[in-house]
Structure 1
Amino acid sequence: MTEFPRRLLAGFALGAILVAGTPAFAAFPSAPDGPAPTVAPVLRQVTPGVVNIAVQGRVRVNNPLLADPFFRQFFNLPNGPVERRTQASGSGVIVDAEKGYVLTNNHVVENADVIDVTLRDRRTIRARLVGRDPQTDIAVLQIKADNLVAVPMGDSDKSEVGDFVLAIGNPFGLGQTVTSGIISALGRSGLGIEGFEDFIQTDAAINPGNSGGALVDLKGRLIGINTAILAPAGGNVGVGFAVPINMAKSIMEQLLRYGSVEHGRIGVSGQDMTAEIARGLGTGRIDGGVVTAIEPGSPADQAGVKTGDVIVAVDHEPVRNWMSVVNRIALARVDQDVTLTVDRRGSVQDLHVTVAPAATRPRQARGSEDYQ
């Protein structure tokens, strides 16, 4: 049976819970007379910066019967759309204690009328939605309170497979909970969860309600915002996904500065590099993305990008695959100049491209690859 990725729902029904721990630190034996290995000192610093989020909102009821005038009259329903009240919960991370900024997931707050944030010290504060970006599933809240504690941001580009991590959140509404594991993979994409995917995959237990919580390294640095799970049975099976903090930080900066995120494009389509393509192009590279088509008159066309070019870096930051290229360009602000480092049959050169609005992107036929 094919397994489909499922987004962590912010709301849930509380039922029987099976808890499975990951012995991430069993590999570190303690001395016979010494202290047992522990991450408690790290958690004492980090957990005050991870919050629980409760939302109340409205969603439209989509029922074909409601479009029948006789049905509406019989049940004395008012004209217009029918809505129902919702309640849900999730998690968030304080990233700026002075200004009270909190990172969370868009799907936690997208239908919210009221957002309440509960701190580690049990204070509950009404939050303001600063902005949100459905394409990356990132939202920014703001709270006003004294003595807030922020979780320091790390550099997710420096994360490696095998790094130990801790996931902190509010699973099943139980309250703040910590699980441990390792980074299982980097750059996960093609899951169909978000518009722009470059997930950190981890086996640290993540469950419904963990959405928007923190993924931190053993130095207490925030490297990801927990977002989704692969859950064929509806619960944790050791395959969770987090938005890298570098991506979340970029989205937050745009939301704070402009109030919205305008994803860009340069007018190219492409695919991942393979050993066969590398041999055909006369290069030994297997990382990066190969350009397969260029939109005539697009910024990429004007900058001199050619079919067959292998994009190996964007703004001098190496890219792993084609989705990495797409994500980096999409996170650039419209009218911003970006530098593409391309390998053209063994000759490496930099090309300067001005990002165009994604809103002008032409629709492609079903099954064809869209220009980025």
Structure 2
Amino acid sequence: MKRIGLMVAAAFIGGAAAIGGYKLLEPKNDSLSFQEQQNVLFASNPKIASTGAVDFVEAAAAVSPAVVHIKTSYTGGGGSADKSGSPFDMFEDFFGGGGRRMQRAPRAASGSGVILTPDGYIVTNNHVVDNADKIEVVLSDRRKVSAKVIGKDPNTDLALIKVEATNLPIVKMGNSDNVQIGEWVLAVGFPLDLQTTVTAGIVSAKARNIGILARNSQPTEEEYEEYQRTGKMPTNNSIESYIQTDAAINPGNSGGALVNANGELVGINAAIASQTGTNVGYGFAIPVNLAKKILDDFRKYGAVKRGYIGVTFAALDADQAEKLNVKDITGLYVTDVIPGSGAAAAGLQKGDIIKKVEGATIYDSPDLQEKIGRLSPGDRVQLTYLRDGQLKNTSVTLKGENSVSGNKPELASAGGTKVEKLGASFAPAPAALKSRYGVSGGVIVTNVEPGKAFESFPNAKGLLITSVNGKAVNSAKDVEAALANSRAGISTITGVTSRGKFTYSID
């Protein structure tokens, strides 16, 4: 009995010390990162393996009170839901109140969020709160409180909101790097306007890129016209490295928690793969290790401070390697090095193949992008690359967006060079646009003559064309030469938009 009493006393003293330590630091919460705050809040918790137990009762009980229902309302045109029938549905489709065929923003919608601190910081998806005129949060005790946006980022689809409340339940952040394929996970949220719902499944893949963020960042005509005036074309800086799970996720789960069997937050649910708009097998969550950096930036600066290596690249596979005439089928083939970037200073060159980042092997673009997405301007990253059959190592200092000259490509001629047969003018595609779409070459349409062949193209101005009649094109001269291969007077035009590749026949 004496031994048991000593153990109880020790546990009590340890808990009191942890609470006292937290209270001591509480006035300076905003000076700590979310992870540092969590280390204090959960100081007395034993460390257990990521996979945890098969019984989910304790995990569900620990997490559910800290997952909240977010309700948004709109008074004007907050945007449009122009859907292409892709199996990857996010944005308005992922709201409980959204509809698959909506042509304008909903008057009201809903999603989920996860409380990170007792004083009311909540993580959710950017698409849950973007353009909302009013944001309300329904807490687990049924209180309804107003929320304000602290920061949001369409490139990762993350947002941080804040409610004025105290002593709120919170979810413990886990380590998404430790998540294993086949591991049990729970999805917690408010699907289909139901109350708190917990579903279970396994992790079926990691570092998954589904192209949804790039697809929804297609340049508008106004952006293209701005490019023609200033030479600045918006780049695709989206980072997709999703945790894929078969835990049932439906509209309304967006922004909710993906947790391991220990009740630790490992991801923020963001998208579903569905032809119907409801769960048919796969959901996708943003890894919490990526979210930690983004959320800390939101609280410190109100926006993301993102670091860039300064290269454009193509992910290698058997087909891409054959096209580029290289032997390696894994890694990232450097298609361009942006002048003034960290990569240029470190000596990287076009044709290098990036094989490792910080010692970890790179198989596809998410392997690099997620790790860089966790870093800030001024941070250094170790890269291993292949050149002339030899592996080399270099240290790259990341630079901010405004300090990399390649983010403002040279202005292409507003008129370009005219190809009479097509009734359109073309100019070489700028590096930023090629990077945005992950291609190594192409031309952009700079002008279209009314009544001529190219006018039949939808939204032709600013379109990126990669080949004509099966021939790669990088200039108006290439386009004109490729037209000689037309069959029966019909030419096949291939290109890419943020929605993916397209092929169009024209006579």
The alignment's TM-score, normalised by the length of structure 1, stands at: 0.75
SS of the residue 2:172 aligns to: coil
**Does the 8 Å CA contact 1:93/1:213 hold for their aligned counterparts?**
yes
1:145 to 150, 165, 168: 165
Higher Cα radius of gyration: 2
Cα distance, 1:61–1:341 mapped onto 2, change above 3 Å: closer
Alignment of 1:163-312 (within 5 A): 163-193=183-213, 195-274=238-317, 277=321, 288-312=331-355
Shift of 1:330: 4.5
1:46 to 63, 66, 79: 63
Partner of 1:115 in structure 2?
135
Shift of 1:247: 1.3
Moved more, 314-323 or 171-180: 314-323
Q: Distance in 1 between matches of 2:395 and 2:116?
A: 35
Give the AA of the match of 1:242: A
Deviations 1:252-273 (A, max 9, x none): 0111111111433332122224
Give the AA of the match of 1:332: L
- Greater share of helix: 2
Cα distance, 1:192–1:272 mapped onto 2, change above 3 Å: same
Moved more, 224-233 or 49-58: 49-58
Shift of 1:324: 2.7
Give the AA of the match of 1:365: A
2:124 to 68, 80, 104: 104
1:365 to 409, 412, 429: 429
**Does the 8 Å CA contact 1:58/1:111 hold for their aligned counterparts?**
no
Partner of 2:116 in structure 1?
95
Cα distance, 1:289–1:62 mapped onto 2, change above 3 Å: closer
Structure 1: which 5+ residue stretches go unaligned? 1-36, 64-82
Partner of 2:34 in structure 1?
none
Q: Distance in 2 between matches of 1:61 and 1:90?
A: 16
Give the AA of the match of 1:228: A
Deviations 1:33-86 (A, max 9, x none): xxxx741111111111111111122332889xxxxxxxxxxxxxxxxxxx9882
Shift of 1:287: 5.2
- Aligned-pair Cα RMSD in Å: 3.1
Deviations 1:168-199 (A, max 9, x none): 00011111101111111111114223522111
**Does the 8 Å CA contact 2:155/2:213 hold for their aligned counterparts?**
no
Moved more, 138-147 or 326-335: 326-335
**Does the 8 Å CA contact 1:187/1:200 hold for their aligned counterparts?**
yes
Partner of 1:332 in structure 2?
375
- Greater share of strand: 1
2:384 to 341, 346, 354: 341
Partner of 1:9 in structure 2?
none
Shift of 1:343: 4.2
**Does the 8 Å CA contact 2:74/2:134 hold for their aligned counterparts?**
yes
Q: Distance in 2 between matches of 1:116 and 1:318?
A: 43
Give the AA of the match of 1:357: E
Give the AA of the match of 1:221: E
Which stretches of structure 1, 4 residues or more, deviate above 6 A after TM superposition? 280-283
Structure 2: which 5+ residue stretches go unaligned? 1-53, 81-103, 215-237, 410-427, 439-507
* Aligned residue-pair number: 314
Q: Distance in 2 between matches of 1:319 and 1:103?
A: 29
Report which structure shows greater RCO (CA 8 Å, sep ≥6).
Answer: 1
**Does the 8 Å CA contact 1:215/1:242 hold for their aligned counterparts?**
yes
Cα distance, 1:146–1:319 mapped onto 2, change above 3 Å: same
